[in-house]
Amino acid sequence: MKTLTQHIVKSLIKPREVSSHKGTHGHALLVAGNIGRMGAAVIASRACLRSGVGLLTVNVPENERVILQTSIPEAMLIFRDNTDYDLSIFSSLGIGCGIGTEQESVDLLTHFLANYKKPMLLDADALNIISEHKLLLRKIPHHSIITPHPKEFDRLFGVHHSVDKRIDTAIKKAKELNITIVLKGQKTLITSNGESFLNSTGNAGLAKGGSGDALSGIIIALLAQGYNPFIAAKIGVFIHGLAADITLKTQSMESMLITDVIESLGMAFKEINM
Protein backbone atom coordinates (compact mmCIF):
# COMPACT_ATOMS: atom_id res chain seq x y z
CA MET A 1 0.00 0.00 0.00
CA LYS A 2 1.43 3.37 -1.08
CA THR A 3 0.65 6.90 0.07
CA LEU A 4 -0.59 9.26 -2.63
CA THR A 5 1.59 12.37 -2.36
CA GLN A 6 1.88 15.69 -4.16
CA HIS A 7 5.14 14.53 -5.77
CA ILE A 8 3.39 11.52 -7.29
CA VAL A 9 0.40 13.53 -8.51
CA LYS A 10 2.58 16.26 -10.01
CA SER A 11 4.39 13.61 -12.07
CA LEU A 12 1.03 12.40 -13.45
CA ILE A 13 -0.40 15.73 -14.61
CA LYS A 14 0.16 16.58 -18.27
CA PRO A 15 1.08 20.16 -19.22
CA ARG A 16 -1.75 22.04 -20.93
CA GLU A 17 -0.61 22.90 -24.43
CA VAL A 18 -0.58 26.61 -25.26
CA SER A 19 -2.03 25.92 -28.73
CA SER A 20 -4.85 23.69 -27.46
CA HIS A 21 -8.56 24.36 -27.98
CA LYS A 22 -11.78 23.07 -26.44
CA GLY A 23 -11.73 19.96 -28.61
CA THR A 24 -8.29 19.08 -27.31
CA HIS A 25 -9.55 18.64 -23.76
CA GLY A 26 -12.39 16.23 -24.34
CA HIS A 27 -16.17 16.18 -24.18
CA ALA A 28 -17.72 14.77 -21.01
CA LEU A 29 -21.28 13.49 -20.64
CA LEU A 30 -22.65 13.74 -17.12
CA VAL A 31 -25.91 11.91 -16.35
CA ALA A 32 -27.05 13.47 -13.09
CA GLY A 33 -29.92 14.99 -11.16
CA ASN A 34 -33.64 14.41 -10.93
CA ILE A 35 -36.65 16.15 -9.45
CA GLY A 36 -35.59 17.48 -6.05
CA ARG A 37 -31.99 16.37 -6.61
CA MET A 38 -30.68 18.87 -9.12
CA GLY A 39 -28.08 20.15 -6.68
CA ALA A 40 -26.06 17.00 -7.37
CA ALA A 41 -26.04 17.80 -11.09
CA VAL A 42 -25.01 21.41 -10.48
CA ILE A 43 -22.19 20.46 -8.11
CA ALA A 44 -20.80 17.71 -10.35
CA SER A 45 -21.05 19.94 -13.43
CA ARG A 46 -19.28 22.86 -11.79
CA ALA A 47 -16.48 20.64 -10.49
CA CYS A 48 -16.09 19.08 -13.94
CA LEU A 49 -15.79 22.44 -15.65
CA ARG A 50 -13.31 23.67 -13.00
CA SER A 51 -11.12 20.62 -13.72
CA GLY A 52 -10.20 21.38 -17.30
CA VAL A 53 -12.74 19.60 -19.50
CA GLY A 54 -13.15 21.14 -22.95
CA LEU A 55 -16.89 20.53 -23.34
CA LEU A 56 -19.56 19.31 -20.96
CA THR A 57 -23.02 17.96 -21.79
CA VAL A 58 -25.38 17.18 -18.92
CA ASN A 59 -28.25 14.70 -19.19
CA VAL A 60 -31.15 16.03 -17.05
CA PRO A 61 -34.96 15.78 -16.94
CA GLU A 62 -36.40 18.36 -19.34
CA ASN A 63 -38.59 19.91 -16.63
CA GLU A 64 -35.47 20.67 -14.58
CA ARG A 65 -33.47 22.25 -17.40
CA VAL A 66 -33.76 25.83 -16.17
CA ILE A 67 -31.72 25.03 -13.06
CA LEU A 68 -28.75 23.87 -15.15
CA GLN A 69 -29.07 26.52 -17.84
CA THR A 70 -29.03 29.35 -15.32
CA SER A 71 -26.48 27.98 -12.83
CA ILE A 72 -24.04 26.40 -15.32
CA PRO A 73 -24.30 28.38 -18.57
CA GLU A 74 -21.09 26.76 -19.85
CA ALA A 75 -22.76 23.32 -20.05
CA MET A 76 -24.89 21.92 -22.87
CA LEU A 77 -27.97 19.82 -22.14
CA ILE A 78 -29.51 16.57 -23.33
CA PHE A 79 -32.94 15.73 -21.97
CA ARG A 80 -33.45 12.58 -19.96
CA ASP A 81 -36.07 10.96 -22.21
CA ASN A 82 -33.90 11.30 -25.33
CA THR A 83 -31.65 8.30 -25.94
CA ASP A 84 -31.33 8.81 -29.70
CA TYR A 85 -27.86 10.33 -29.92
CA ASP A 86 -24.35 9.14 -30.71
CA LEU A 87 -22.52 8.21 -27.51
CA SER A 88 -19.22 7.84 -29.36
CA ILE A 89 -18.77 11.63 -29.46
CA PHE A 90 -18.19 11.68 -25.70
CA SER A 91 -14.70 11.04 -24.40
CA SER A 92 -15.96 10.30 -20.89
CA LEU A 93 -19.23 9.48 -19.18
CA GLY A 94 -20.26 9.74 -15.55
CA ILE A 95 -23.58 8.56 -14.19
CA GLY A 96 -25.31 8.39 -10.84
CA CYS A 97 -25.19 11.69 -8.95
CA GLY A 98 -28.76 12.35 -7.84
CA ILE A 99 -30.47 10.31 -10.58
CA GLY A 100 -32.62 8.37 -8.09
CA THR A 101 -33.32 4.64 -8.03
CA GLU A 102 -36.77 4.56 -9.64
CA GLN A 103 -37.43 2.20 -12.54
CA GLU A 104 -36.76 4.89 -15.14
CA SER A 105 -33.32 5.38 -13.59
CA VAL A 106 -32.71 1.62 -13.67
CA ASP A 107 -33.59 1.64 -17.37
CA LEU A 108 -31.35 4.67 -17.94
CA LEU A 109 -28.33 3.03 -16.31
CA THR A 110 -28.96 -0.22 -18.16
CA HIS A 111 -29.01 1.72 -21.44
CA PHE A 112 -25.64 3.35 -20.83
CA LEU A 113 -24.03 0.15 -19.58
CA ALA A 114 -25.14 -1.57 -22.78
CA ASN A 115 -24.24 1.18 -25.23
CA TYR A 116 -21.24 3.15 -23.97
CA LYS A 117 -18.09 1.35 -25.08
CA LYS A 118 -15.45 3.17 -23.04
CA PRO A 119 -14.60 3.19 -19.33
CA MET A 120 -17.12 5.22 -17.34
CA LEU A 121 -17.51 6.55 -13.81
CA LEU A 122 -20.35 5.26 -11.64
CA ASP A 123 -21.29 6.90 -8.36
CA ALA A 124 -24.13 7.32 -5.87
CA ASP A 125 -27.49 6.15 -7.24
CA ALA A 126 -25.85 4.20 -10.07
CA LEU A 127 -24.16 2.10 -7.39
CA ASN A 128 -27.36 1.84 -5.36
CA ILE A 129 -29.19 0.55 -8.44
CA ILE A 130 -26.46 -2.01 -9.10
CA SER A 131 -26.64 -3.16 -5.47
CA GLU A 132 -30.32 -4.01 -6.09
CA HIS A 133 -29.67 -5.53 -9.55
CA LYS A 134 -26.42 -7.40 -9.04
CA LEU A 135 -26.28 -8.74 -12.61
CA LEU A 136 -25.45 -5.20 -13.71
CA LEU A 137 -22.16 -5.42 -11.80
CA ARG A 138 -20.76 -7.63 -14.56
CA LYS A 139 -21.99 -5.17 -17.21
CA ILE A 140 -19.65 -2.39 -16.02
CA PRO A 141 -17.08 -1.81 -18.80
CA HIS A 142 -13.55 -2.88 -17.97
CA HIS A 143 -11.30 -0.14 -16.56
CA SER A 144 -14.30 1.88 -15.36
CA ILE A 145 -14.26 3.70 -12.01
CA ILE A 146 -16.70 3.27 -9.14
CA THR A 147 -16.62 5.72 -6.23
CA PRO A 148 -18.59 4.29 -3.28
CA HIS A 149 -18.67 5.58 0.26
CA PRO A 150 -18.62 2.79 2.90
CA LYS A 151 -22.40 2.24 2.98
CA GLU A 152 -22.62 2.08 -0.83
CA PHE A 153 -19.65 -0.28 -0.85
CA ASP A 154 -21.30 -2.61 1.67
CA ARG A 155 -24.53 -2.64 -0.33
CA LEU A 156 -22.51 -3.82 -3.32
CA PHE A 157 -20.17 -6.31 -1.67
CA GLY A 158 -21.63 -7.23 1.72
CA VAL A 159 -21.38 -5.83 5.22
CA HIS A 160 -17.88 -5.21 6.59
CA HIS A 161 -17.15 -4.60 10.26
CA SER A 162 -13.83 -2.79 9.89
CA VAL A 163 -12.10 -0.38 7.54
CA ASP A 164 -9.28 -2.88 6.96
CA LYS A 165 -11.68 -5.62 5.85
CA ARG A 166 -13.45 -3.21 3.52
CA ILE A 167 -10.11 -2.21 2.00
CA ASP A 168 -9.15 -5.87 1.50
CA THR A 169 -12.41 -6.53 -0.34
CA ALA A 170 -11.99 -3.39 -2.47
CA ILE A 171 -8.54 -4.49 -3.62
CA LYS A 172 -9.83 -7.95 -4.45
CA LYS A 173 -12.98 -6.78 -6.25
CA ALA A 174 -11.15 -4.14 -8.29
CA LYS A 175 -8.86 -6.83 -9.65
CA GLU A 176 -11.65 -9.36 -10.16
CA LEU A 177 -13.91 -6.92 -12.04
CA ASN A 178 -11.01 -5.17 -13.85
CA ILE A 179 -12.08 -1.75 -12.60
CA THR A 180 -10.74 1.05 -10.42
CA ILE A 181 -12.40 1.39 -7.02
CA VAL A 182 -12.27 4.68 -5.14
CA LEU A 183 -13.37 3.78 -1.62
CA LYS A 184 -14.11 7.11 0.01
CA GLY A 185 -13.24 7.71 3.64
CA GLN A 186 -10.90 9.54 6.00
CA LYS A 187 -8.03 8.24 3.88
CA THR A 188 -9.61 7.43 0.54
CA LEU A 189 -8.37 4.26 -1.14
CA ILE A 190 -7.71 4.16 -4.88
CA THR A 191 -7.08 0.62 -6.12
CA SER A 192 -6.77 -1.09 -9.51
CA ASN A 193 -5.25 -4.40 -10.61
CA GLY A 194 -3.59 -5.00 -7.25
CA GLU A 195 -1.97 -1.55 -7.01
CA SER A 196 -3.33 0.60 -4.20
CA PHE A 197 -2.88 4.10 -2.80
CA LEU A 198 -4.19 5.86 0.30
CA ASN A 199 -4.78 9.57 -0.18
CA SER A 200 -2.95 12.11 1.96
CA THR A 201 -5.15 15.20 1.44
CA GLY A 202 -8.55 16.26 2.71
CA ASN A 203 -10.21 17.01 6.02
CA ALA A 204 -13.47 16.55 7.91
CA GLY A 205 -14.97 19.60 6.20
CA LEU A 206 -15.68 17.22 3.29
CA ALA A 207 -18.00 15.15 5.50
CA LYS A 208 -21.08 16.81 3.99
CA GLY A 209 -23.54 16.13 1.21
CA GLY A 210 -22.27 17.00 -2.25
CA SER A 211 -18.61 16.16 -1.70
CA GLY A 212 -18.89 12.94 -3.66
CA ASP A 213 -20.69 14.71 -6.51
CA ALA A 214 -17.78 17.13 -6.81
CA LEU A 215 -15.26 14.29 -6.82
CA SER A 216 -17.18 12.58 -9.61
CA GLY A 217 -17.14 15.77 -11.67
CA ILE A 218 -13.39 16.18 -11.24
CA ILE A 219 -12.61 12.60 -12.25
CA ILE A 220 -14.97 12.73 -15.26
CA ALA A 221 -13.14 15.84 -16.47
CA LEU A 222 -9.79 14.09 -16.20
CA LEU A 223 -11.09 11.02 -18.05
CA ALA A 224 -12.34 13.29 -20.84
CA GLN A 225 -8.85 14.82 -21.12
CA GLY A 226 -7.35 11.43 -21.91
CA TYR A 227 -5.98 10.28 -18.56
CA ASN A 228 -6.27 6.56 -18.05
CA PRO A 229 -8.87 5.72 -15.39
CA PHE A 230 -6.50 4.77 -12.56
CA ILE A 231 -4.45 7.94 -13.07
CA ALA A 232 -7.61 10.07 -13.36
CA ALA A 233 -8.85 8.63 -10.07
CA LYS A 234 -5.56 9.30 -8.29
CA ILE A 235 -5.30 12.89 -9.51
CA GLY A 236 -8.99 13.54 -8.85
CA VAL A 237 -8.97 12.26 -5.28
CA PHE A 238 -5.80 14.17 -4.40
CA ILE A 239 -6.96 17.46 -5.99
CA HIS A 240 -10.38 17.18 -4.31
CA GLY A 241 -8.76 16.79 -0.91
CA LEU A 242 -6.15 19.48 -1.54
CA ALA A 243 -8.85 21.97 -2.55
CA ALA A 244 -10.61 21.21 0.74
CA ASP A 245 -7.38 21.83 2.64
CA ILE A 246 -6.89 25.15 0.85
CA THR A 247 -10.48 26.10 1.70
CA LEU A 248 -9.56 25.93 5.42
CA LYS A 249 -7.65 29.18 4.91
CA THR A 250 -10.98 31.01 4.62
CA GLN A 251 -13.50 28.59 6.17
CA SER A 252 -13.66 26.21 9.11
CA MET A 253 -14.43 22.51 8.82
CA GLU A 254 -17.88 23.32 10.18
CA SER A 255 -18.63 26.14 7.74
CA MET A 256 -17.02 24.69 4.61
CA LEU A 257 -19.41 24.06 1.71
CA ILE A 258 -18.58 21.91 -1.30
CA THR A 259 -19.13 24.97 -3.48
CA ASP A 260 -16.28 26.62 -1.52
CA VAL A 261 -14.10 23.61 -2.29
CA ILE A 262 -14.90 23.79 -6.01
CA GLU A 263 -13.85 27.45 -5.99
CA SER A 264 -10.51 26.34 -4.51
CA LEU A 265 -9.77 23.87 -7.31
CA GLY A 266 -7.84 26.48 -9.26
CA MET A 267 -5.48 27.09 -6.35
CA ALA A 268 -5.12 23.32 -5.88
CA PHE A 269 -4.02 22.83 -9.49
CA LYS A 270 -1.62 25.77 -9.15
CA GLU A 271 -0.13 24.41 -5.92
CA ILE A 272 0.51 21.00 -7.47
CA ASN A 273 2.20 22.55 -10.48
CA MET A 274 4.54 24.75 -8.42
pLDDT digits (tens, 9 = 90+) for 210-234: 999 999 999 999 999 999 999 999 9
pLDDT at 18: 85
Q: What whole-number distance in Å separates Cα of residue 37 and Cα of residue 21?
A: 33
Model-level pTM?
0.97
Chain-centroid distance, C-alpha 250: 25
Please provide residue 145's backbone torsions phi and psi, each rounded to the nearest 5 degrees.
-120, 130
Task: Please report how many Cα atoms fall inside a 13 Å half-sphere around the Cα of residue 123, on the Cβ side.
Answer: 30
Q: How confident is the model at residue 273 (pLDDT cuts 50, 70, 90)?
A: confident
Q: Where are the domains of the chain?
A: 2-272
Amino acid found at 95? I
Helix spans in 95-249 (H): 103-115, 125-132, 150-157, 163-177, 211-224, 229-247
pLDDT at 20: 85
State in words which class domain 2-272 has. Answer: alpha beta
Q: How confident is the model at residue 16 (pLDDT cuts 50, 70, 90)?
A: confident
Task: List beta partners, residue 29.
Answer: 57, 93
pLDDT digits (tens, 9 = 90+) for 66-120: 999 999 999 999 999 998 899 999 999 999 999 999 999 999 999 999 999 999 9
pLDDT digits (tens, 9 = 90+) for 137-169: 999 999 999 999 999 999 999 999 999 999 999
Q: Which positions ≥6 away from 86 have C-beta within 8 Å?
A: none
- Angle value at C-alpha 125, between 98 and 49, nearest 5 degrees: 50
